Structure 1
Amino acid sequence: MIHSGREGEPEGKATRGLHPRHRVDDYLRRGWWTAQTLDQTFRDQVAARGDATALVDPANRRALVGSDPRRVSWNELESEVTHLAARLLEHGIGRGDVIGVQLPNSIELVEVYLAAWSIGAIVSPLAMQYREHEVVTMANKANFAVMITTTEFGDRSPAADVLAARDRMPALRSVLTIGAAEEAADAGGSHIVPAPATERDRARIESRRAADPNEPNDCVTICWTSGTEGEPKGVRRTHFDWIAFSVATIDAPRVTVADILLNPFPMINMAAICGMLLPWLLTGATLVQHHPFDAATFFGQIATERVTYTIAPPALLWMLLHNDELLSKIDLSSLTRIGSGSAPLQPAMVRGWQERFGLGVINFFGSNEGVALLSSPEDFPDPDDRARYFPRYGASGVTWSSRFAGRVDVKLVDVETGVEITEAGRPGELRIAGPNVFPGYVDGENLTSPFDDEGYLKTGDIFEIAGDRNQFLRYVDRGKDLIIRGGMNIAPAELEGIIAEHPAVAEVAVVGDPDEVLGERVAAVVVLRPGAELALAELVSFLRERKIASFKLPERLEVRDLLPRNAVGKLLKRELRTRPTLTQ
């Protein structure tokens, strides 16, 4: 049985030994887990790659944070990581301490991950769009010991925002900023400038490592996921399961040391950490950072850096395919494959990229908790099949190319009866088990368990069996109300709770409207109190005063006399969504 937390220890408190002993022993015996840790992997790559280029900053870094972009070799990166790790120790950060990190994709963001892991600290990354509401919530749930952020991001100061709310985060001991010397500002915190390690720094870190080495079952990250329970949930992960998870994202695109990877997704959750950071770390490839998404900068980086592999949202790939004027101005000749996901792929889009450019689009379906279904050109040479289907791991008589296929168990379960589904065409909830599955949530003992009685992760996503040999899974629908806007997850329950506080609102339902570019946009459907009036601009202003992230703000407001419900009073959100407008 899969469960969370070290046996006999309260869930949410342990930072070592998150997976139970019997699971560790089983997966070590099978060879699915090893004694490998992420910090040792980094040191191994430094020894192997030396002066080869490791990391490249976003080309538009100066516009983001006020300093010029850099590029560093593996040796230079290791020296700066050691310097940073020593500074963290000076600020009292040690094993098991949680570091809240709000930084754009950059060299420094990767350095924070590596430096924290080298001293046994835990990284909890936050989206740059998050404001006081989200930062305070997550800091208090995970007990951030320190916050590392930037003095400048576009037209605002994330460091100043954190300092202004510091009295609402009682566990927070310090606020640090990191970046070039010219980024330092008097925001009341301490600024760290990346620099080569001194001999004293190196001796201190090596002594620390020898005296208190990491274990692969240690917690290394707490990422955040939104769900129907309203507030975000902290997803804990160890060296064990992150490394096992990345097998899928290395094998499907066949990432090698020769690749140049371009990461356009915020490095805060599965898509960028497992899709880009870990494949880079485990193969020794070159990683080019990009943030926030800007088409001109993105395509310029592909051409200038000779990028071989990247990931992109489906809407961007669909738009490009129908924009000959833009395509004529960009150079994609270095690309050999593209990953996409977070929304169902259109067969015409996947087929178009293969036929026009000879590029195979890899279909990704994943989650922070451990879902990883990947359809590669090797397993799905027909682009239409690759867009529609995912591998049904364990299907009789079928062999898949990825090592991941033999390590993961999947099943579909009837959501009403709980009976496992084995026939084609009958929708059921996807459940998954294996070495990639997370050990549990922060404060998990106070949350509904994400695992069933057999230890499978209950994903909440609805699939059905398909294919002439029942070898495929076809995505049917999202079993949860989660809204995904531009790759960012939004929990309707959280927004509904805040909107319900507006004096004009009697009832509210938040849903996602389909959108060609962003995937979905937020819509609020309300029933007003007698005699009350409410306009969208007024509602948005009310929410801004609550200091929530701007990507959560509704873009449609609909006023109704009643919200639709079934015979037992359950809200029928499907009747509130606008119809899809995507071109087929």
Structure 2
Amino acid sequence: MKFDAVLIAPRIQEMTEKGFWQGKTVNDYFDACLRDCPDKRALTSIVVSTGERRDLTWRELDVLANRAAVGLSRLGVGKDDVVACQLPNSWQFVVTYLGCARLGAVFNPVMHIFREHELCFMLRHGEAKVFVIPKLFRGFDHEEMTDGMLGNLPDLQHVVVAGGEGARDFDRVLMDPASDKDPELARIVTENRPDANAVCQLIYTSGTTGEPKGAMHTANTMYSNLVPYAERLKLGSGDVVLMASPMAHQTGFMYGLLMPVQLQAGAVLLDTWDKDVAARVVEEEKCTFTMASTPFLMDLANAVEEGGTDSSTLRTFLCAGTAIPGPVVERAHAVLGTKIVSAWGMTENGAVTLTNLDDPDDRSVHTDGYPLRGMELQIRRSDGTPAEPHEEGELFVRGCSNFGGYLKRPQLNNVDAEGWFDTGDIARADDSGYIRICGRSKDIIIRGAENIPVIEVEAALFKHPAIASVAIVGYPDDRLGERACAFVVPKPGMSLSFDEMTAFLSQSHFSKTYWPERLELRDKLPSTASGKIQKFALRKMLREEMGLA
């Protein structure tokens, strides 16, 4: 596979001279773990539905990673070949990635909820040579689905099935104990170790605006994010990272897999989210850090309060992906005793902005933090001039953790001549340089020449006791140009009327100009694999229902 990561070469000299790109890969960090703490527990993998767990030290993990490398090489996988993986969070996911890293293969994690439509596109576009899947996960037969797609995947040569049978079985193909004594082992796991500027990960964007794009990352782009990220959060080898966010998403992959290796820290993986299991795991494994979206935080606080478990070791919970309502932060801090940190980032560049541990709690409620070392921000007006503090504008980022480009689509890279990446987000900055994401540029609603602060109205409605989820989108209006519609998922057993919604916004002191003028109740909202609501789908749905399509 030939990768067109055109955004890497122009930055190598500057990023290296400034010390942001240190030239280390996961292999280098793993070697340090083997040298410094080989018998320390590296990983605990838990199957939530059965309680099955597997604990692995760095030494044991090394043996399994070597087996995976040998197994993959026997399937013909080599440097720059793509290995796609649809496994849930598990030790098998980790060793598959580590095996790829030792071969110089490119790892392509795909979410376990993807089906034929998404997978056919991604596997064909990425020219995946091997596809690693679970046999069954959450009652769904992934092997049967994959067999039905094979005729449309000319590059796919092998399917490996965790929990499978016969020639495809994960243990038989990738975990063969005989690999430990393979005379070619040393050559296989060292000959093609990649350079830190080589593409090592292909990960598809969430697709909030349509067809997904394959973002290419190198070890340098990812670790130049992880190093300052861990520094700001004061994470180190004594930490235990709980990761329930999917490792096929950048949150789980970077901060649940790569970062623990970098820090020589422990990691506890849950294959699915269960608040009660998570609360027990925090207590039993003495977890100190986790990163997830706001619903996970709310669930964990509820579980600890209801079950009386001890969460005192959990020092930090980093929330990203959406605004964190103030009452959620207050309750979580009171119940969990945890510092809530807000952040903003993208698949293309990892977490770019974070609040500080010593910031007051309202910083996490009202901002998404300020840039990590090595990253710069610009907020621009529509004419390209810099926005003033507190003025909303288009958000651009530049720096060390920016991706290498979109596979086979360099025309979509959205990077200008000075290296600024157009994020597609609308933001504002305060006098201290802390930013607030105000929405996507395509999500702006302009009602009678007045911009509606969509994110703020959504955050206010999120506090309503009857609302489980909410998204506001615009729809055409002859007189005002646009009006706003609120799509709401009520909490179980509850409902919401239009009058109740507007009365709540009135009590919240929102200008009537900003109130949604239409309410649509739904059982669920269309979302991406990582949980982001697909507003383009809601807009299309609304136009069709209004006869405007």
TM-score, with length taken from structure 1: 0.74
Aligned-partner SS, 1:34: coil
| Number of residue equivalences | 479
Aligned to 1:303: 283
Q: 2:391 aligns with which of 426, 438, 450?
A: 426
Q: Matches of 2:108 and 2:132 in 1, distance apart?
A: 10
- Are the aligned partners of 1:377 and 1:383 in contact in 2 as well (CA < 8 Å)? no
Distance across 1 between alignment mates of 2:26 and 2:303: 43
Distance 1:229 1:354, change over 3 A: closer
The answer to whether 1:14 aligns with 2:17 is no
Gaps of 5+ in 2: 445-453, 456-484, 493-521
Give the CA deviation at 1:514.
Answer: 5.1
Q: Percent identity?
A: 22
Counterpart of 1:513 in structure 2 is 487
Deviation at 1:285, TM superposition (A): 0.7
> Is 2:461 the counterpart of 1:472?
no
For 1:204, give the aligned amino acid: E
Are the equivalent residues in 1 in contact too, given 2:367–2:436 (CA < 8 A)? yes
Counterparts of 1:107-256 in structure 2 under 5 Å? 107-178=91-162, 183-185=163-165, 189-193=168-172, 194=175, 196=177, 198-201=179-182, 203-227=183-207, 230-256=210-236
Residue by residue over 1:136-182, the C-alpha shift from the partner in whole angstroms, topping out at 9 and shown as x without a partner, is 1100111111101111213222122111210111111111123xxxx
Counterparts of 1:127 and 1:349 in 2: how far apart (Å)? 28
Aligned mates of 2:132, 2:19 — CA distance in 1:
36
Quick one: structure 1 residues 197 and 61, their matched pair in 2 at CA, closer, same or farther if it must change by over 3 Å? farther
Alignment of 1:546-557 (within 5 A): none
Q: CA deviation at 1:275?
A: 2.3
| Residue identity matched to 2:440 | R
Counterparts of 1:120 and 1:369, CA distance in 2:
21
Q: Does 1:442 pair with 2:442?
A: no
Find the aligned partners of 2:256 and 2:547 in 1 and give their Cα distance.
46
Q: SS at the partner of 2:43?
A: strand
SS at match of 2:310: coil
Alignment correspondent of 1:354: 333
The aligned counterpart of 1:338 is 317
In the alignment, is the contact (CA less than 8 A) between 2:275 and 2:300 conserved in 1? Answer: no
User: TM-score under structure 2 normalisation?
Assistant: 0.79
Q: Does 1:387 align with 2:365?
A: yes
For residues 16-38 of structure 1, the C-alpha deviation after alignment (integer angstroms, 9 at most, x for no partner) is x7554441111111111122111
Unaligned runs of 5+ residues in structure 1 are 1-11, 394-403, 485-510, 519-535, 544-548, 564-570, 572-584
Q: 1:461 aligns with which of 425, 432, 436?
A: 425
1:210 to 1:301, Cα distance in 2 relative to 1, 3 A:
closer
Conserved 8 A contact 2:110-2:248 = yes
> Distance in 2 between the 1:197 and 1:260 partners?
33
Taking the aligned partners of 1:210 and 1:57, their CA distance within structure 2 comes to: 27
Change (3 A) 1:127 1:199: closer
Partner residue of 2:253?
Answer: 273
The farther-off stretch of 360-369 and 17-26 is 17-26
Which amino acid counterpart does residue 477 of structure 1 have in structure 2?
G
Correspondence list, 1:101-112, <5 A? 101-112=85-96
| Residue 560 of structure 1, aligned match among 527, 531, 545 | 545
Correspondent of 1:96 among 80, 83, 89: 80
Distance 1:313 1:517, change over 3 A: farther
CA–CA separation in structure 2 for the residues paired with 1:185 and 1:555: 42
1:368 maps to which of 329, 332, 347: 347
Residues 474-520 of structure 1 show CA distances to partners (whole Å, capped at 9, x for unaligned) of 22222245999xxxxxxxxxxxxxxxxxxxxxxxxxx98355889xx
Letter in 2 for 1:413: R
Which residue of structure 2 lines up, in the alignment, with residue 48 of structure 1? 36
What is the match of residue 503 of structure 1?
none
RMSD over aligned CA atoms reads 3.6
- 1-side partners of 2:234 and 2:35: how far apart? 23
> CA offset at residue 430 of structure 1?
1.1
CA distance in 2: counterparts of 1:20 and 1:316, whole angstroms: 35
| SS of aligned partner of 2:88 | coil
2 CA distance for matches of 1:325 and 1:173?
A: 47
Counterpart contact for 1:320–1:327, Cα < 8 Å = no
Instruction: Provide the C-alpha distance between the structure 1 equivalents of 2:343 and 2:319, rounded to a whole number of angstroms.
Output: 6
Of 139-148 and 339-348, deviating more is 339-348
Contact 2:355 2:363 in 1 (8 A): no
Seen in structure 2, the aligned counterparts of structure 1 residues 83 and 356 have a Cα distance that, compared at 3 Å, is closer
Q: SS of 1:412's equivalent? A: strand
1:28 aligns with 2:16: yes
Residues 125, 199 of structure 1: alpha-carbon distance in 2 compared, 3 angstrom cutoff: closer
In structure 1, how many angstroms separate the alpha carbons of the residues matched to 2:352 and 2:134?
Answer: 35
Question: In the superposition, relative to structure 1, how do residues 439 and 346 fare at CA in structure 2: closer, same or farther (>3 Å)?
Answer: same
Distance 1:220 1:205, change over 3 A: farther
Superposition deviation, residue 473 in structure 1: 1.5
How many Å separate the matches in 2 of 1:242 and 1:425?
A: 30
Q: Which amino acid aligns with 2:278?
A: F
Deviation at 1:61, TM superposition (A): 5.8
